[in-house]
A and B are shown apart, each in its own frame.
Chain A
Amino acid sequence: MMTMNEFRSLFHNGLIKQNTGLVQLLGLCPLLAISNNVVNALSLGLATTMVMAASSGAVSGVRHFVPNEIRIPVFVLIIAALVTVIDLVMHAFVHPLYLVLGIFIPLITTNCIVLARADAFAAKNRPLNSVVDAVAMGLGLTLVLLVLGAIRELAGQGTLFSGIDLVFGEDAKQFVLHVLPNYQGFLLAILPPGAFIALGLLIATNNWYKARAEQRTRAAVAVAA
């Protein structure tokens, strides 16, 4: 079993300290490509979390049988096989969801966070901790995607949750928020450069916030001394 403290530190790590999108800067390709609106961003984030949890759990479960020299090929094999299985099962049994997430699933295989977590964490830790770590990392990524998607969608077309009907059916159309009525649209935000600009701003904000917090601690220490 894991203690509450372990659990908390894993989540702190995944969501803030080692956030894949803002701090580790891993797996930016899907992050930049799919963050043009909230629904896409959330879908990709959750799909990635699911794949990471499954692959980290599997890698951790077999970690004692894998010699160090061939761990990378074995991990790649496990991840690729798992993603393909998830892809096939979703295609067959949850078709409407597959239509939305389907294009992202193969993208996830190319996402280096999945392999990075398998190698850096799951290969050295117990299955339960590894799954929690993967979920925390995945949620950290989802959070960044969500913020990025919201910024780009709001700036680009003045709405939030457009396309939600693709996930929840035609009736969900009423949940689309037209935050800025009669908005003319700002194409740059939706096109790829908008992703780079918005992510840059997010990282800068995060760094500024961290630097300020550090400065305060230093000042407090100096005063105390």
Chain B
Amino acid sequence: MTSPIPAALRNALRTGVILFVFALVGTAMLAFTHNRTEPVITRGQLAEKRALLSQVLPAALYDNDLLSTQQSVPPDDLLGTRQASALWLARRDGEFSGVVLEAVAPDGYSGNIALLIGIDANGAVTGVRVTAHRETPGLGDYIDRAKSAWIDQFVGKSLLAPEPKHWKVAKDGGVFDARAGATITPRAVVKAVKSALDYFARHRAAFAAPLAVKEKDA
């Protein structure tokens, strides 16, 4: 009794079916895990984002849900951005009380330094965090809050104090400290924070406009 299907073909079919079954089981496993973990992961990411925002903008400054005010703004030289970036508008008792901007320092020692900058309604910096960078470990990476408190010196600074011409690192005649041997990195950050303040000054009126209008075009 020989089967009408040649042995080689039968073998190939068998192998194909086995591979298919493994792929099916693997896919099912992934789909199941994804389904189960997705809501938890999304919740975690939102909480993380909220925590990050509250690092640059003190929670006492606002009573609205900051995350829900997220807007996309087009690329702007003052923000150093080449793609649309996000900003969040803070309100307290319905009054505009601050903004968190995403900005980029494009002239770091090795590429872009991504920043999150909180500014209050009076134009004073409430906090700055580096969210991504590729600066030299152990040398330029002290701009990262996890490595040192250097970045805290921006808190309370505005375009009025120090004067714009003093928005520089100490070595260039400004008021901001920088460690010897790594001035390019802090120089880039200082410049980016100052530009962000300029951006804020230019758009403050729009930020302060009632939320209902802003949310529509967001």
B155 at interface by CB-CB < 8 Å: no
Complexed CA–CA distance, A187 and B19 (Å):
49
A70 at interface by CB-CB < 8 Å: yes
Known: A185-B138, A187-B136. A92 touches B18 (CB 8 A): no
Whether A67 lies near B14 (C-beta < 8 A) is yes
Complexed CA–CA distance, A31 and B34 (Å):
29
Q: Is the interface of A mostly helix, strand, loop or mixed?
A: helix
Whether A88 lies near B37 (C-beta < 8 A) is yes
Which of B25-33, B64-72, B165-173, B209-217 binds A?
B25-33
Q: Closest CB-CB distance, A37 to chain B, in whole Å?
A: 9
Chain A's closest residue to B139 (CB) is A187
Complexed CA–CA distance, A66 and B34 (Å):
26
Residue from B18, B26, B34, B36 in contact with A65 in the complex, judged by beta carbons closer than 8 Å: B18
B19: chain A residues within 8 A (beta carbon): 70, 73-74
Chain B's closest residue to A73 (CB) is B19
Q: Closest CB-CB distance, A214 to chain B, in whole Å?
A: 40
Whether B44 lies near A77 (C-beta < 8 A) is no
28 cross-chain CB contacts under 8 A? A66-B22, A67-B15, A70-B18, A70-B19, A74-B19, A74-B22, A77-B23, A78-B22, A80-B26, A81-B26, A81-B29, A81-B30, A84-B30, A85-B29, A85-B33, A88-B33, A91-B37, A91-B41, A91-B44, A92-B40, A93-B37, A93-B40, A95-B48, A157-B138, A166-B146, A185-B139, A187-B136, A191-B137
Known: A89-B33, A91-B44, A190-B137. 11 other contacts (CB 8 A): A66-B22, A69-B15, A70-B18, A74-B18, A84-B33, A85-B30, A85-B33, A88-B37, A88-B41, A156-B138, A187-B138
